[in-house]
Amino acid sequence: MTPRAGRAVLAAAFAAAALASCATSTSPVSLHALQSAGPVAFLCLGDRASGPLADFAHPLTSCPRGRLDDFSLPHVYSLPTQPIRG
């Protein structure tokens, strides 16, 4: 067997092993629709490049309000939570 043929056989063996390893079965996960949210926190954040969190976190009063299409900085972010149900 020539070195070139040996490489082809080796590549074919690796390809077959890779295809066989992708044939694992998945386990189903139960999904729940979003339920009522828990507590919500609002943040006013500026440019992350300005340094540590204390430098780019702003009071909510300094964030612009009223426009949904305004993505300027600082910007209001909401962090809703969803309680875990057994």
Q: What is the pTM of this model?
A: 0.47
Residue 77 has pLDDT above 80, yes or no: yes
Query: Is position 1 within any domain?
Result: no
Length, in residues, of the chain: 86
For 70, the domain range is 37-86
Give 7 or 23, the one with higher predicted confidence: 7
Q: Please, is 68 exposed, middle or buried when counting C-beta atoms within 10 Å of its C-beta (0-12, 13-18, 19+)? A: exposed
Q: Per residue in 9-53, pLDDT tens?
A: 777 766 766 666 665 667 777 766 666 777 888 999 888 887 888
Query: Is position 24 within any domain?
Result: no
Query: Is position 26 within any domain?
Result: no
Query: Is position 27 within any domain?
Result: no
Query: Is position 58 within any domain?
Result: yes
Query: Is position 50 within any domain?
Result: yes
Strands 40-45 and 75-80: antiparallel
Which SS3 state, helix, strand or coil, does residue 64 take?
coil
The number of distinct structural domains making up the chain is 1
